[in-house]
Every structure is written in structure tokens, then in C-alpha cells.
């Protein structure tokens, strides 16, 4: 069965006591500021892992606000490695903004290699600015870049960004919720993207036109059809459960969604 992972960006509003009133950047800034101090990092990162583990997960996607190369020291990384091992938690991807300069992308690549993470999942401005450099870094570190759809209206726009795939180093992280937000059938997108799907952020949203995530089955994303499309394509990767509410703790919804997903995968 495919690995089921927990997207740690689900806790974007956690450091704001689930009162995120000024959008994503507010939550991302608060998370970076909370995890940055070395003296408190080990306990705070352990609390994060403990909560994720308690929800029934043994794999996660580490959101870069929780372990960011902009502020990590070797001591941060050593502590994170030890805690991940202690909790038996495998990291299937690093998630978030993947750098707009060669230096930023290389720092993320180095972190991924240190943590034995095979996939970078998110948006990567450097891919547009200097594709040759981005591809060179991915090849140097043996990593796959899974470009995540957000503003793209359909999979054709994503395919244009992927281009020739750079020999298998560039593909996509399908965010089912964002396709639905754009009014596009996520299952159809998966079928059209085929072998280019490197990772999946499995998300439900309340309605097209607004990106309000929810528990599986309470929104408009045809999630079961998405799973079927992925299985028919032979997708071997992880399913990352993603749900990022601004005003409440997602834990109960995530557990219910995980149980539903496990049923679909049986």
C-alpha cells in the first residue's frame, strides 16, 4: 500500500493559536520564529513529532517553516535527525517555497540529502529564472523536484513548467485541492499528468473559487476517483494528507481523513 504521510504545513496556524487572520504569510512567519531558536528547538520539534505520531502517522512531509535552511545550524539538524529516528518518523518530502536563488535551492537540497529525503515538493521560482541551474543542482544531489500547482488553471500549464522533465528530475506534486479551487477536475488532471506525478498533496476543499480546505468527503474534490486514477497509472509514491484550517486544529479531521484514505487503499 502507498505510504500515507502528514503534511506538517497543516499546522500553519498552530503558533497563532488557530487565529490566523492575515493569511498564509502570517502563519509561516510565526512558525519560523517559533522553531528558529536553537535552545528551544529540540523540545518544540519533538512536540510536533509527538502530535503527528499520536494521530497514527509514521511518515510526514516537513514544511520548511519547521526546519528552514535559512536559520538551521548543524545543531538544529542533528537534533531533528535524532528525534525523527526516535519517533520512527520517515520524511517523504520537504515542502514549501524551494528557493528563488541558486544558494537557496542548494541549501534545501543539502538539507534533503542529510535527512535522506528524495523529493522537494512545492513552488520553485528558480526553475523559471534559471532552469539550467535548478536542474544542475537537482542532478548534483540526486533529488526530484515535484512542482506544486497553485495558480495554474489546468494541468497543461503545469506540463509547460515541467517541460522535458529534465530526464526524470522534474515532475509535479499534484495538489488536488488547488485544482478544485481553480474549477478543474483533479482526477482528470492526474490522468493527463500521468508519469509526471512525483508526489500527491491529497486535499479536499469546500468549493471552487475559494481555497478553504476540509475533512475528506465534505468538499468538492472527487478524492476516490483521484485515488483510482493514481492506482491505474501505477503511482508508487506517498499520499500526503493536507488540511490547513486557519481557525481550528485540524487533528480530528486529519484522523478521519486518514481512516477514509486507508479504506480506499485496501
Q: Write a three-state SS string for 43-88.
A: HHHHHHHHHHHHCCCCEEEEECCCCCCCCCCHHHHHHHHHHHHHCC
Q: Looking at the 3D structure of the chain, how many domains does it have?
A: 1
pLDDT given for residue 181 in this prediction: 98
The CA distance from 212 to 206, in Å, is 6
pLDDT in tens, 79-131: 999 999 999 999 999 999 999 999 999 999 999 999 999 999 999 999 999 99
Give the CATH number for residue 162.
3.20.20.150
Residue of 62, 108, 70, 63 whose CA lies nearest to 87? 62
pLDDT given for residue 1 in this prediction: 79
Residue of 3, 87, 74, 6 whose CA lies nearest to 45? 87
Residue of 1, 27, 46, 9 whose CA lies nearest to 241? 9
DSSP symbol at 184: -
Cell of 35: 522553531
What is the pTM (predicted TM-score) of this model? 0.98
Contact criterion met (CB below 8 Å) for 113 and 141 = yes
pLDDT surpassing 90 at residue 212: yes
- Whole domain around residue 155: which residue ranges? 4-265
pLDDT given for residue 52 in this prediction: 98
Largest alpha-carbon pair distance within the chain?
48
Can you say how many angstroms the Cα of residue 168 is from the centroid of all Cα atoms in its chain? 19
Amino acid at each position: 500500500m502507498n505510504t500515507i504521510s502528514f503534511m506538517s504545513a497543516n499546522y500553519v496556524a498552530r503558533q497563532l493559536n488557530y487565529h490566523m487572520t492575515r493569511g498564509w504569510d502570517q502563519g509561516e512567519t510565526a512558525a519560523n520564529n517559533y522553531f528558529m531558536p536553537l535552545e528551544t528547538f529540540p523540545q518544540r520539534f519533538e512536540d510536533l513529532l509527538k502530535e503527528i505520531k499520536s494521530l497514527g502517522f509514521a511518515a510526514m512531509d516537513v514544511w520548511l517553516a519547521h526546519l528552514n535552511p535559512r536559520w538551521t545550524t548543524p545543531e538544529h539538524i542533528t537534533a531533528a535527525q535524532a528525534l525523527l529516528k526516535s519517533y520512527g518518523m520517515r520524511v517523504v518530502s520537504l515542502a514549501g517555497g524551494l528557493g528563488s536563488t541558486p544558494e537557496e535551492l542548494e541549501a534545501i537540497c543539502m538539507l534533503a540529502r542529510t535527512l535522506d529525503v528524495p523529493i522537494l515538493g512545492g513552488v520553485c521560482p528558480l526553475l523559471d529564472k534559471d532552469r539550467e541551474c535548478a536542474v544542475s543542482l537537482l542532478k548534483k544531489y540526486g533529488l526530484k523536484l515535484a512542482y506544486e500547482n497553485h495558480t495554474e488553471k489546468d494541468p497543461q500549464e503545469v506540463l509547460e513548467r515541467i517541460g522535458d522533465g529534465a530526464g526524470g528530475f522534474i515532475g509535479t506534486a499534484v495538489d488536488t485541492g488547488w485544482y478544485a479551487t481553480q474549477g478543474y477536475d483533479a482526477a482528470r488532471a492526474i490522468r493527463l499528468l500521468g508519469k509526471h506525478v512525483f508526489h500527491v498533496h491529497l486535499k479536499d476543499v469546500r468549493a471552487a473559487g475559494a481555497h478553504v480546505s476540509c475533512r475528506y468527503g465534505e468538499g468538492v474534490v472527487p478524492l476516490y476517483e483521484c485515488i483510482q486514477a493514481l492506482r491505474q497509472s501505477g503511482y508508487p509514491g506517498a499520499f500526503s494528507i493536507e488540511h490547513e484550517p486557519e481557525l481550528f486544529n485540524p487533528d480530528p479531521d486529519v484522523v478521519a481523513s486518514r481512516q477514509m484514505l486507508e479504506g480506499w487503499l485496501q
